[in-house]
């Protein structure tokens, strides 16, 4: 197993640091809707189709599909992903409903909604904006996959897709950038913590159990 230091210094996580710092600067020094307005003014036919599909990578059924695939290779991997999916879901819902109760762009700008570039067929939500659940799911899944693979190119692709999901939520007028930034933090922290705890801190719980390193089809 790669050391924790090697994992954290991988190109994929360095890419996240760059994304995080860029988003944080925009959130701290610009008005809440600035990036939303800027991105909305740059709508185009390709972007409308591209982001409408990319955003699906943050939905729950992608977690299920990934879990089934991992189950074929390693039971341990599937358990990690399942725990990540369950725990991050409840944390996101708690933050959305109990802590923040934030309005989404469609409600915030309902008086001038017709002046924005909106995509036909996209159902705009109005409540529970913070944090972005799609973004949290995308980063939670990407983080687990990055931590479980040694292929640097795949790691970068996983992180890139997660970042694109975050951008898609703003492009589709579903969230503000701050919502996606917080969602990315939740996703990475939940996945990283679960992986670290079960793989490094207390490997005797699951990681050292040999049968769990066999899959339903492929064995180590």
Residue 4 pLDDT > 80: no
As for how many domains the chain has, the answer is 1
29-49 pLDDT per residue, tens: 999 999 999 999 999 999 999
> In this structure, is residue 133 part of a structural domain?
yes
How far is 176 from 178, CA to CA, in rounded Å? Answer: 5
| Helix (H) or strand (E) segment spanning residue 201 | none
> In this structure, is residue 39 part of a structural domain?
no
Residue 60 pLDDT > 70: yes
Residues spanned by the domain of 130: 47-110+126-213
95-150 pLDDT per residue, tens: 999 999 899 999 999 989 889 999 988 899 999 999 999 999 999 999 999 999 98
Distance set, CA 61 to CA 56, 91, 94, 200, 202 (Å): 9, 18, 21, 29, 30
151-176 pLDDT per residue, tens: 999 999 999 999 999 999 999 999 99
Q: Which residues of 194-210 are buried (b: 16+ CB within 10 A; e: fewer)?
A: bbeebbeeeeeebbeee
Provide the percentage of residues in the chain whose pLDDT is more than 70.
Answer: 97
Residue 194 pLDDT > 80: yes
96 — phi, psi (to 5°)? Answer: -60, -50
Average pLDDT, the chain: 92
**3 state DSSP class of 103:** strand
155 — phi, psi (to 5°)? Answer: -60, -45
Residue 69 pLDDT > 70: yes
> In this structure, is residue 53 part of a structural domain?
yes
Distance set, CA 37 to CA 44, 129, 133 (Å): 14, 17, 21
């Amino acid at each position: 197993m790669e050391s924790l230091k090697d994992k954290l210094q991988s190109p994929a996580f360095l890419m996240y640091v760059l994304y995080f710092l860029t988003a944080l600067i925009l959130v701290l020094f610009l008005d809440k809707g600035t990036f939303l307005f800027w991105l909305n003014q740059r709508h185009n036919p390709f972007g409308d189709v591209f982001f409408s599909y990319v955003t699906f990578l943050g939905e729950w059924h992608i977690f299920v599909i990934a879990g089934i695939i991992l189950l074929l290779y390693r039971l341990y991997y599937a358990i990690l992903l399942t725990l990540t999916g369950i725990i991050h879901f409840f944390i996101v819902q708690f933050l959305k409903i109990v802590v923040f109760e934030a309005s989404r762009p469609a409600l915030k700008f309902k008086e001038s909604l017709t002046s924005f570039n909106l995509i036909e067929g996209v159902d705009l939500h109005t409540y529970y904006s913070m944090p972005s659940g799609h973004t949290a799911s995308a980063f939670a899944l990407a983080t687990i996959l990055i931590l479980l693979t040694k292929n640097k190119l795949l790691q970068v692709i996983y992180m890139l897709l997660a970042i694109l999901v975050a951008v898609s939520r703003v492009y589709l007028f579903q969230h503000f950038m701050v919502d996606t930034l917080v969602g990315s933090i939740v996703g990475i922290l939940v996945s990283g913590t679960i992986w670290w705890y079960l793989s490094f801190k207390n490997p005797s719980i699951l990681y050292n159990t040999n049968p769990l390193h066999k899959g339903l089809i492929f064995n180590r």
